Amino acid sequence: MERCPTEIHAYIFELACTDGGAAGIALSAVSRHVRAVSAPYQWYTLAVAGTTQTVRLAERIRTLSSGKEPPSAGSEKGKGRGARGGPDITHLFVSNRPASRARELRYQEMGATRDMAERRRIEAAFNAEADAWARAVRVLLAYAAPTLRSLAMMCYDIHVSPHGRLFFTDLKRHRFPRLEELSIRGGFDTRLRDYDGAPQGGEARSLRLREAAAAEGDREEEEQCGGGDADGLTLPALRRLHLASPISFDLFLQRLRPLAPGLTHVRLSELLAFDYDMARALHSELAERGIVPARLPRLRERQWSAEPRAVSVDWERFLPPPHALRRLVVQPAQLPPAPEELCGCCSGYYRVDDMTRLLREMAREALVPHGEEDAAMYVFLPPGPRHNAYGFEEGYWDWLGRTAGGKGCWKEQCEVDIDAKSLGAGGDSKVQSWDVVGKRAISRWF
C-alpha cells in the first residue's frame, strides 16, 4: 500500500466510488491518508434516502461551504474538485422517504382516525417533514448544480404539502451545465396540476390567472434565491427526461422545453385517468411524425363505438421536435378497482382502461424507421405490479445502472411483452389504493 503511487490509489478510489456512496464512507474511515486521497471521489455517486439523512447532508454541505473545515488534499488528477469546499457530486439519487416507507402515506394515516385533532397533528407533521426535506434538497441542488450529470428524485406526498413542494423554479434557479439525465417521481408544483387545456371564455380567463399566479410565484422565488440563468437555458445538456407522478405533468412538459431544447428521450410513468387526453394528444403528435398510424381500426370493435384516430395538432406540443426525438416510453398505472367493486366512472377505471388499450395498440402498430440502429421510437410498457407503477427500488437500480452506462429505465420494445398482465389487475385489485388528488379532464383536442 505504501509503495503504490498516490495516482494509482486515486484511480482505484475513483472506480470504487460508484455504488451510491457506501464505498466513500468506508474509504473515509480507513486512515487519514486514504481519506484525503479519496476525498475528491467520495461523492461521485451519492444516494440519499429519508428526510433525516438529507438534512444531515445539507448541514454537512453548509459546513464545507462555509470554510470551517479545511479542504481535503487530493491527487493531481483530483485537483480542483474540492474548490467549492467539498467533493463534486456527479450522479445524485435523493428521496424524502427510505425504501421501507416509499409510498403515499399522508392520507392513509389521516384516514385511519376520525379524531380531527389527531388528523391535524398528522397533517402538520407531514407538512413539517416536507418543508424540512425541500429546504435541504435546495441546498443540495445549489451545491451540486455545476457538476451534476444525472439526477433522480423520488418524492412522496410532497405535491400536497403547501410549503414543502418543489417549485418549477428549482430547475430555473440554477444552471445545470452538465446535467444529461433527469428522473423525477412526484414533487411537482401543484400550480401545474390545475392546467385545463380547454381555454374558452371564462376558462381562458381562469387559465390566464393561474398562469399569472404561477409566474408571480416563480419571480418571488427567483428574487429570494438569486434568480436564474440569463438566457433561460438552465438545462442545456439535458437529453433524457423521466417523469413519474401521482398528478398530471402535461404543463410541466411544456414549460420545461424552453429550458432544455436538447431533449431526445422522454419517459412518462404512472399515467392515470386524468392523463387520458394527453395520451390522445401524444397519439396525434406521433402520427403527425409517421411513428404510429393515424388510425387504429382494431380498437373499434374492442374499445370504442367510434374508431379513435389522430387529429390535426393545433396545441403546444408535448414532445421534442421531430429531428430531436429518439425515444418515447410510456407506462400507465395499474388499473383501479374493477367496476364490480367500485364504480368504474368514479374510480377512473374506464379511462385508465381506454388509455392503456390505446397506448398498447399504438405500440403494436408502431412503425420502425428503416435502417435505424434503435428499434421503435415509441415504447409501451405494461402497467406495473402495483398502483405506483414506478417504485423506489426500480428507480434506484435504474439510476445506478445508468451511472455505469446501462440502459436503466430506457427499455426497448423488443425486450417487453406488451400483452403482459400486471399483478393485481384482476383478482388482486383489492390491495390497490386510489389516493390521488383529482384533476379536471383536458378536452381541448377531442
Give pLDDT tens digits for 26-62: 666 566 766 666 666 768 888 999 999 999 999 989 9
Question: Strand 91-95's sheet: what is its strand order?
Answer: 45-49, 91-95, 150-154, 181-185, 240-244, 265-271, 327-332, 378-380
pLDDT digits (tens, 9 = 90+) for 354-388: 888 899 999 998 876 655 555 678 999 988 765 55
The helix (H) or strand (E) run that includes residue 379 is: strand 378-380
Q: Is the pLDDT of residue 444 over 70?
A: no
User: What distance lies between CA 355 and its chain's CA centroid?
Assistant: 21
Residue 284: how many other CB atoms lie within 10 Å: 20
Q: How far apart are the first and last CA of the chain?
A: 69
Task: Return the top range by mean pLDDT from 83-92, 195-204, 410-419.
Answer: 410-419
Q: What is the mean pLDDT of the chain?
A: 75
Burial of 124 by CB count in 10 Å (0-12 exposed, 13-18 middle, 19+ buried)?
exposed
Distances (CA, A) of 100 to 229, 243, 279: 38, 22, 32
201's grid cell: 371564455
The helix (H) or strand (E) run that includes residue 139 is: helix 116-144
Q: Is the pLDDT of residue 135 over 70?
A: yes
Backbone angles phi, psi at 350, to 5 degrees: -65, -40
User: Hey, what's the torsion of the CAs at 19, 48, 185, 247, to 10 degrees?
Assistant: 170
pLDDT for 376: 74
Residue 329: pLDDT band with limits 50, 70, 90: very high
CB distance 279 to 254 below 8 Å: no
Express the helix, strand and coil content of the chain in percent, nearest 5 each.
Answer: 40, 10, 50
